[in-house]
Amino acid sequence: MNSSFKKIKLALAVSVALGLSGCGEQSSNEYLAQGQQALEQSNVQQAIIEFKNAVRLAPKDANARIFLGEAYLAEGSYQGAEKELSRAIELGASKKGLVLNLATVRAKLADRDGLKLLLENSSALEEDEYVGVLFYVAVAALNDNDLNSAQDFFGQTISLSKEGRFGKLAQAYLLYSEQKHSESQNFIKELLSVNANDKEATLLNGHLYFAQNEFNDASNTFAHHLTLAPKDYAISFFQINALLRADNYEEAETKVDGLLKRFKEAPLAHQYKSQIEYHKNNYREAITHADKAIKTGAGFPIARMVAGVSAYQLKEFEQSYDYLKPIEGNLTADHPIQKMLAIVKLKLGYINQASENFSLLEGLTTADVELLQASSVEMMKASDFQSAQKLIEKAEQLDPTNALLAAQKGMFLLSQDNVSGIEALEHALTLDSSLEEVELALAMQYLKLDEEGKAQEVASKWLKNNEQSVSGHILQGIIYTKQNNISAAKISFENVLSIEDNNIAALYNLAILAENDEDFDRAEVLYKQTLALLPSHKGALQNLSVLQLNKNQKDQHVSYLESLAQESNENISLTLTLAQNYRAAKQTEKAISLLESISNHDNLPQGYWLILGDAYVENKQLEKASKIYKNALTQLPNSYLLTLRNIGVLELGKKYPQALSAVYSASEKFPDNIRLQMLSAHYELLNKNYSKSEQIIKAMNNRNVKHEFLDKITGDLAIAQGNYPKAISFYSMLYQQEQSSKNAVRLARALKFNGQQQEAEKTLESYLAENDDTNTRVVLASLYQSKDSTKKIKQYQLILKEFPDNIIILNNLAWSQYQINDLVNARENIEKAYAIQGEFLPLVETYAAILVKSSDNNMAFKLLEKAQALGTKDAELQISLAKAYIDKGNNDKAKTLLNSITDPSPELAAEAKSLKASLN
């Protein structure tokens, strides 16, 4: 019984299976139709399934293979696309666009030989298709670093179709290859304005952003490309690199992990993963992933760096040396890895190769003293004062009778405001009394400590021994200046010039005295004489800059500094002064370019980083500014000014969580710093951590801390918590302390929120009665209620006196005039704004409303249609357009428009309903 049951069951199963295979199978054409339908619904993956079924049923159907190849191309599966499109051509297909699609695919696969074949057999191609093939041949050459061939093919493409899509892409790529990034991007923006989903334009746009260090934009652009071609995995690597360069490690890790799941051994993915693990201080994991990349044998110097630095962090110096030594020759002299290698070499005993950290060495002799001195000076330049002092002291232990060494130690200690340096200088003079410069430095310290008698003893001794003593007259002149005996000081410095007519100290001091006497022309001459002898003289540079700016001679001073810089192009102080003057003259781009040109210099001072970062901020390049401040802090970690700049630029970029984290990190370096404590309350507030912000404020109040910024934060917190009376109280205190536009607006805002409309208006009106400030006028105009259109109009008219072409103000003025039925002036103002920016929707909406109310039906109709095309959601305008359609007998359009209206007021909803009813 069981046996027969099994047989029956088996027979039934076979018959069912046969039945399923014998009926219900679709034809190839049906699958093609379903695939095309899936494409219309943007379901590329389903389309591929349908097309694959079609090819399975009709393997020699060229059209089926074309459809499948094009679907593969759409999703970025280039190998599959190449196979199917090539097979279609083998089967005799000649569909327009087929060869161009195959050229696209082969360019993506870096198949230059395949592209060459397409070009050689292009005689039957139409011109637009031939131009596209030329373009992709050029792209493949560029990707292969064959720049000459690429530029030649781009040039051919342009000559055949300069205004076509491929011609413009070729022009953009050509400029990109010449590193003219902003010019290239102009072409790309034009292409994307026509088609925002142009894959080639999007891809190049991503590379252009990356080349200009705009890494967030690059990442977003590559991400957009991946939405267009989700399986174009090569672009994922570009996106990840951009994320890493933008310090967006969290998102980068998600992307890398996704790639590693799909491509387990991809070396570049492992390199990126190693960078991410290093950032997380997971040094062992960083080495593991970096090693996988390195072992492919393809180079990967960054992976070597990550592995070497990670090994160093783990104190595995031999392993670190093995990773880093092969790339040493490829690193610039100032690369941080060189410093690390030097320390590794010292650790491993490779002393002759090392150049830094001599404090780590043992068993030094007097032969090493000069080297230790030089290294100490370099460390001082790099602001590593602790290590510099250790080296001086180590050298002093080796050679305790070296007067110059004692003098260096004294100078160093005094530079750190350590008065024990005076003892070191005095000790140097006991070792060698002929060190006149040391004795002068010692006398200057005496003056600094108000010990004029000791300084006078030195000056008198020198002048007694030699009436022609330059140092004696200089010191005497300085003493007279400190005693405010100006006439005697001038005589002393003039005596110096009679002995030594190019003495810098005398010229500079006489310039200062002339400026104090308001003899500005003579002061200018003397400062320039000083700089002719020593272009790096900081005091002369600074004082002359201020002097000429006060004389309103910005342009002349910039020209002077430029000529000075040409003669001394390695002078850092002069470069920084010129950059500052460029900024003062509103030539920020020049300042940035100048500073970037010296970025490879060793031991750049704090001022360099501050000026360059600030210039980027002025230029609204916040990412670059942030990078500069972070880089500077790795070299000058204890710089308070750089720390504040780094925090500030994070706030400007609205990166409040990072700013808060940076504040708490800075507080560890600068404990009990009032400014940082206030900033912590400020950023807790901006991060909506109101209770934490309030807690910090209370703690500071308990310590009786008084500061305007603290009052401002307290007021801001009160606003955020809806405690408007408290906000008014603190903003009132702020306004009493400083009657600025910002404080007036803060107070008015709090009054407005508290229902004190008239008081808010009076606050701003009173401020404007004393100060003509455009920003405050804008706020006041917006503060006035709709019933006060006349008051609004007055403020907008005053603003337009200063900014006659401001389209927002013109628009707001026109609307206010519209509200009081002053249609003539309203139309005049909106037409002026519209002539400046005719595609700006708010202007079009205002213009349309004015024309409707003016009964200018023909013009109104055009503007209403334009507003609709630009995406207006204004129900009143849409109803006006519907009425116009009805008047013109176009009821279908009117009905469609009325059905599309969203969120109308009750009155407008009723009107729309009535109109729809009339159409039925």
pLDDT of residue 374: 47
Question: Rounded to an integer, what distance in angstroms lies between the CA atom of residue 169 and that of residue 158?
Answer: 9
pLDDT of residue 19: 33
Helix axes 622-635, 606-618, angle to 10 degrees: 170
406 pLDDT exceeds 90? no
pLDDT of residue 330: 73
Question: Vertex 274, ends 273 and 278: CA angle to 5°?
Answer: 120
User: pLDDT grade, residue 411 (50/70/90)?
Assistant: low
Which range among 382-386, 467-471, 560-564, 591-595 shows the weakest confidence by mean pLDDT?
Answer: 382-386
pLDDT of residue 370: 53
- When the pLDDT of each residue in the chain is averaged and rounded to a whole number, the result is 82
As a whole-number percent, the residues of the chain with pLDDT over 90 amount to 26
Question: Rounded to an integer, what distance in angstroms lies between the CA atom of residue 359 and that of residue 736?
Answer: 56
CA neighbor of 167 nearest in space, from 212, 128, 198, 193: 128
15 pLDDT exceeds 60? no
In tens, the pLDDT along 157-185 reads 888 888 889 888 989 999 998 889 989 99
pLDDT of residue 815: 92
In tens, the pLDDT along 433-444 reads 666 666 666 667
Question: Rounded to an integer, what distance in angstroms lies between the CA atom of residue 201 and that of residue 210?
Answer: 14
pLDDT of residue 798: 92
CA 132 remoteness from chain centre: 35
pLDDT of residue 331: 63
pLDDT of residue 624: 93
Question: Rounded to an integer, what distance in angstroms lies between the CA atom of residue 902 and that of residue 715?
Answer: 39
SS3 state at 916? helix
In tens, the pLDDT along 478-506 reads 888 888 898 998 999 999 899 988 888 88
In tens, the pLDDT along 359-396 reads 333 344 454 455 445 444 444 544 445 655 666 676 67
pLDDT of residue 404: 67
426 near 411, Cβ under 8 Å? no
User: pLDDT grade, residue 677 (50/70/90)?
Assistant: very high
User: pLDDT grade, residue 336 (50/70/90)?
Assistant: low
SS3 state at 32? helix
Q: Residue 385 burial (CB < 10 Å; 0-12/13-18/19+)?
A: middle
- To which residue do tokens 């200088």 refer? 425
In tens, the pLDDT along 621-671 reads 999 999 999 988 887 887 888 999 999 999 999 999 999 999 999 998 888
User: 678 vs 528, which has greater pLDDT?
Assistant: 678
431 near 406, Cβ under 8 Å? yes
DSSP H helices in 433-571:
436-448, 452-465, 470-482, 486-499, 504-516, 520-533, 538-550, 554-567
908 near 876, Cβ under 8 Å? yes
Tokens read off for 539: 């005091």
349 pLDDT exceeds 60? no
pLDDT (mean) for 401-405:
68
Cβ count within 10 A of residue 89 = 19
User: 203 vs 548, which has greater pLDDT?
Assistant: 203
DSSP H helices in 723-804:
724-737, 741-753, 757-770, 774-783, 789-802
User: pLDDT grade, residue 22 (50/70/90)?
Assistant: very low
Phi, psi of 109 (to 5 degrees): -90, 5
- Per-position b or e across 212-242, b if 16+ CB within 10 A of its CB: eebbbbbbbbbbbbbebbbbbbebbbbbbbb
- Say which residues have a Cβ less than 8 Å from residue 169's Cβ, sequence separation at least 6: 135, 187, 191, 200, 201, 204
Question: Rounded to an integer, what distance in angstroms lies between the CA atom of residue 596 and that of residue 50?
Answer: 56
In tens, the pLDDT along 710-752 reads 999 999 999 999 999 999 999 999 888 888 999 999 999 999 9
Tokens read off for 384: 């590593």
pLDDT of residue 755: 92
CA neighbor of 89 nearest in space, from 223, 510, 618, 97: 97
What is the identity of the amino acid at 389?
A: Q
pLDDT of residue 864: 92
pLDDT (mean) for 883-894:
88
pLDDT of residue 603: 67
Tokens read off for 456: 């006078």
As a whole-number percent, the residues of the chain with pLDDT over 70 amount to 84
